Structure 1
Amino acid sequence: LSEWRDHRVLAKLRGLYQPGVIRQAEGCKVVIEFDGQEIDHVEYGDIFGANKYDIISDASPQMSHLLIGSACVVRTSDPNREGQTVFVEGLVFEVLNSPIRIRVKVTDGDLGKETVEVKRADLRLL
């Protein structure tokens, strides 16, 4: 895991995926420093087992990887955190062309069960 140090990620914190950076990595544990949080660092364990979806790379997927039904997270702002960017979980529902947009059925967060349309840059696959 040491090669992942300083890699930008989204990590699940209080039910939402939030941006941060891997600061330490050893065995099955990583320490995340979140962007603009009061919390300095959070340690995550068992990241290859039960918690494997708690930390994901903060990179937009290729179009060829966007399959209907794929689990994903989509960018939104959190009004409880002064508009800070967070990501909520959903499922890819439809991929539209010209311009390319992705419809996602949100499965949690304040948007729960709503369908949103986003750009590829606002989506990460789980």
Structure 2
Amino acid sequence: MSSDSPGKPDFGPEDGDEVSSPDLDTVMELLADRRRRYVLYYLQEEGSADVAELAEQLARWEGERSEKHRQRITTELYHKHLPKMGEQGVIEVGDEVQFVDLTPPFEEYLDLAARQERPL
């Protein structure tokens, strides 16, 4: 423990130190949602997809392929997940959603998550 801040572990960069990798909180926040992970798994493999294709694949992996369920996924992708991932530079959103090469720490966490839960 650091003597100047009780209760805070004494490892990692201190406030104000430069860090070249993505912020760990940002990485964990992006990977915390299953649908965002599923989008990233799919795009990591395919490179790009339109939103309808993503919604169809997510519905298939979630085991519920009804039109109503796909519509809910599509809405959530448009209004929640894709903007959040786009803001962080993980994907590029245009006519199609494009996968962006991830920095090594982010990619390692995504690969670890995929080994644990990757849908077939």
Give the alignment's TM-score, normalised by structure 2. Answer: 0.24
Greater share of helix residues, 1 or 2?
Answer: 2
Larger RCO of the pair (alpha carbons < 8 Å, separation 6+): 2
Give the alignment's TM-score, normalised by structure 1. Answer: 0.23
Larger radius of gyration: 2
Greater share of strand residues, 1 or 2?
Answer: 1
